Amino acid sequence: MLYCPYEMCDPYFYRQEQLQPNSFVRVLHASPNAPMVDIYANDNLIIKRISYQQFTPYFQLPVGRYNIKIYPSGTKTNPVVDTNVNIPANKILTVAAIGQLPNIELYAVSDMATINPSKTLIRFVHLSPNAPNVDIILPNGTKLFENVGYKDTTNYIAINPGIYTVQVRPTGTESIVLTVPNIRLKPNRAYTIYAVGLVGAEPPLQVLIPLDGCSYIGR
């Protein structure tokens, strides 16, 4: 169960005239050994009971500087994150909690891009704390992204829509550490491939592929 006090509704409801001098933010729990957590902004509860691998919907957050504290869910002592963040105007952001206890941090990714009506936009974000630099490769050997390290975010690239299988390989090797089949990528949309989890440990390496907010917010 997720809780958020800011305006949230079906994402396709948003239209350009609704954009205020705020930003649209979603949160991703990408810390593989962290429990379910609650998130506070300026000591106000904004996200409740978010688990590893979960995204919140996008919500509107007023521009400004926020003190962010993250606690194990149901507690309010000994935060696992206590940091300040600045939210700029008119942006679309994913803010991920990354790393492993006790060294969790926030990592912000801009979800802004110009959508191509006949193509699919795709990019890669490396959030696996113990994985080496990796390449994202199609089975035919085509490299989509190369030599991407932890906490790196690639640029979007435009590809033809369709159903894809991708492989994750340590950079410069033929070893496949993860194969992800049957990824359906639709035209006129933008997606991010997030690598999360751990290599050779639990929870295992895997990818999350959400639809990014620039696909629908303000359009």
Residues above pLDDT 70, as percent of the chain: 90
Statement: the pTM of the whole predicted model exceeds 0.85: yes
- Which pLDDT score is estimated for 218? 81
Scored b (16 or more CB within 10 A) or e, 137-155 reads: beeeeeebbeebebeebbe
Distance CA(7)–CA(165), nearest Å, equals 36
- Label residue 11 by pLDDT band (50, 70, 90): very low
Question: How confident is the prediction for the chain on average, in pLDDT?
Answer: 92
pLDDT of 4 above 70: no
Structural domains in the chain? 22-110 (2.60.40), 112-218 (2.60.40.1120)
Q: Looking at 3-12, 45-54, 78-87, 91-100, which range is the least confident one?
A: 3-12
Greatest distance between any 2 Cα atoms in the chain:
51
